[in-house]
Amino acid sequence: MNKLLVIFIASFVELSAQVGINTTHPQGVLDIVSNNSTMVIPRLADLSAIKQPVEGMVAYDSTNKTIRFYDGTSWGTLVYSRDQTKTNEGVLKINGSGAGAGTKPTWTNVSENTLKQVTLSSPLVYATPPTTSWPDNSSTIDSKVYAGGKFLENAVRGQVHQWRVIVNYTKSSNIYSQDITFILRNPTSGFRSEISGVVPSSKTSGILVYNFTTIADGASLPPPLGTGAGYILEWVASDTISSLSIDSITRISFAKN
């Protein structure tokens, strides 16, 4: 009787060494065969719910819309495309907003030290691909970039973003140089970044370029990833400006594993 039990257990271990689904000849520990379906891996909105992850774990991150793997230390994002692009990187260049071809935010005869907020209307007008390339983890809708008068980062905590603002201006001649300062601020966290563009006294028109860097976190991302609502973009000049228009606003989302 004991010999029969040992033989049975040994046979069970041998049979269990390879598992086949829709196949009687599995070619690995697990072999799934199908002509009209596929495997669904665990779907989690928050991978921190796995309290004791093990190296080699794989899960679908339903918040960031990507497949994640655990390398023994942290969760990474699988590289899946032929070009080895990451699922959360992308460049969105906004050329204007509003119906039809859209218009550019424009101000005229703005007095010195008068603060102006940059606002857009729906829909946003983007540069054509490949200049604009949406992150693969994001829906291609305006509210993922701009909502409620605020500019939004891609929805990945810890992802680095650069905002490039290109401005056209005209002004009267002046014996003094003047500053046109752009401000990017987070009203939730108090984060504030100011960049001044100096206009020489001899210049009455020209182009200025401003570059801001932000890191997406709980104070800047809206729910469910955070409690923020994005950034307000403003500008102010040290002297009267005859006209100022926003040529483009570009959000660059750098790859985040």
> What is the tens place of the pLDDT at every residue in 168-183?
999 987 767 789 999 9
- Tell me the two tokens of residue 35: 């002509």
Predicted local distance difference test score (pLDDT) of residue 58: 92
d(CA 161, CA 252): 5
The three-state secondary structure class of 47 is helix
> What is the CATH code of the structural domain delimited by 90-253?
2.60.120
To the nearest 10°, report the CA torsion of 183, 211, 143, 217: -80
d(CA 9, CA 250): 64
List Cα–Cα distances, 206 to 6, 95, 96, 176, 197, in angstroms. Answer: 88, 18, 19, 16, 11
Predicted local distance difference test score (pLDDT) of residue 235: 98
Predicted local distance difference test score (pLDDT) of residue 2: 53
Phi, psi of 66 (to 5 degrees): -155, 165
List the chain residues with pLDDT less than 70.
1-16, 64, 79-86, 175
Domain positions in the chain: 1-38, 40-78, 90-253
Helix H or strand E segment including 197: strand 192-199
pLDDT digits (tens, 9 = 90+) for 94-121: 999 998 889 999 999 999 999 999 999 9
Q: Say which residues have a Cβ less than 8 Å from residue 242's Cβ, sequence separation at least 6.
A: 108, 109, 169, 170, 171, 172
Please, is 128 exposed, middle or buried when counting C-beta atoms within 10 Å of its C-beta (0-12, 13-18, 19+)? exposed
What single-letter DSSP state applies at residue 218? T
d(CA 179, CA 113): 10
Phi, psi of 23 (to 5 degrees): -150, 145
**21 CA to centre of own chain:** 39
Q: Is residue 219 a contact partner of residue 226, using CB atoms and an 8 Å limit?
A: yes
